[in-house]
Amino acid sequence: MNGVMAAAADLRLKSGDGGSYLDAAFGIGARLLRSAVWHGNICNWFGPVFEEHAGSHQLACGTLGPGLYDGTAGIALFLGHLGRELTDPAFKRVAHAAIGHALARAKDIPEGIKYGFYTGEVGIGYAAIEVGRCLEDPTLVTRGFELVRAAAEADLDGNAVIDVMSGSAGVIPVLLRLFAESGEGWLMDAARRRGDILLARASRDERGLSWDVLGELAGTMDLSRVSERLADIRAGDRSRPNLVGFSHGAGGIAWALLELGAVSGEARMQDAARDAFAYEDSWFDAANDRWPDLRLHDAGNDGTSAGPIAWCHGAVGIGLARMRAWRITADERYRGDAVAALRMTARSLLNGNPASANYSLCHGLAGDAELFLTWAELTGDSEARGLVDTVAARGIQDFAREHRPWPSGIDGAPESPGLMLGLAGTGYFYLRAARPARMPSVLLVGPENKPRGTAYG
């Protein structure tokens, strides 16, 4: 790994400093302030949305929903932190208005993804808690906890989604983080119930433990809205292997179970996490040094030709989960997997992989950089930190200084306002690059991933 990392470090345009990164975040925040659409004391934005037309979902321009992933809660999270870091009342005002919209419209989230983190009410509640702390507004914090509790204690009636993106695996680590901060027992009780759901839905084979996430999602939503290539997926299709990866795959669910086992002391959770990581490891293509994209697996394609580099599907998310697993267990196998993910991602940055040409957190350069920033925080590796500065400096040179639109994570949309696919996430990346000790990652939200500093309590 060292050779690749050193070579990538040589590409650094100029090692960025906290000031220039804060300037970049300020510029992005200012764009969001200018484009906000107001209604009384709440605000929203226009952005790319998918609408049904002639039997298919097509990209259009519309107002955003309330969620953390691509809605007003995610924008509020960025602007709240930006207002706090810059002590700027304008950003704080818009953050308050944006989270007000998210809280008011949380009821509009479709039932199938209603109780998740990135797409559901738990994420909106989490954002309200964070924004309330940034703005020193205890009423917002209370409203956030109330929404998290209502969602976490909802009767899921056997219909809970299970993945990190929309389901129980994304909710568990957030509940554990809030439990570590507050000590309220209902948070641990809810996390355990979600863990039981994950164990009950697991499938075991010779590779290990995995979950039919796409099949279950197909029962709750039209997957063509995610990707046209997923349009034909049906629940119970055993010809398609269960996914690897973070947002919808075994690695993300393993991470959630491991976090739960570490806090609760339940060996069954830890054992299940180990077996799920083993499932993911069994798919690693050592000859080509990559994990496959099993979304592409069908009768004519085994998926091994693709080695995606992304948080959602690929090396970045897999690497983040393994870094946390190594931190919890001290098992060197997880460290080795993390190093492989670092190597794959560094190689992609060196080669200028067009798949990572955007600056989104979900599947772009900002998300790629989070892998190296987390590793640098964990190990003190200066070369990893150098790669973060490379990505940040490139963005400032190519987009901020040239006053060009920041490329989003949505094909066909040059700019998007949201957190995981657009401007708010790019701005959040620059805040985190400037002040990592004060800014928690939004790609690996768990009990130890919380800001350090008296301002947060």
DSSP code of 60?
Answer: E
Asked if residues 290 and 355 have their Cβ atoms less than 8 Å apart, the reply is no
Nearest to 151 by CA among 178, 180, 130, 132: 178
Residue 367 CB: number of other CB atoms within 10 A? 30
362 is in an annotated binding site: yes
**Rg, Å, the chain Cα set:** 20
User: For residues 321 and 62, what is the distance between their CA atoms, to the nearest angstrom?
Assistant: 34
Cα–Cα distance list, 59 to 49, 62, 249, 344, 360 (Å): 6, 10, 26, 32, 18
Residue 206 CB: number of other CB atoms within 10 A? 6
> 453: helix, coil or strand?
coil
Nearest to 449 by CA among 388, 394, 341, 374: 374
- H or E, element range at 334: helix 332-351
Q: 């030709």: which residue's tokens?
A: 305
Residues placed in the known binding site: 312, 362-363
Residues placed in the known binding site for Zn(2+): 312, 362-363
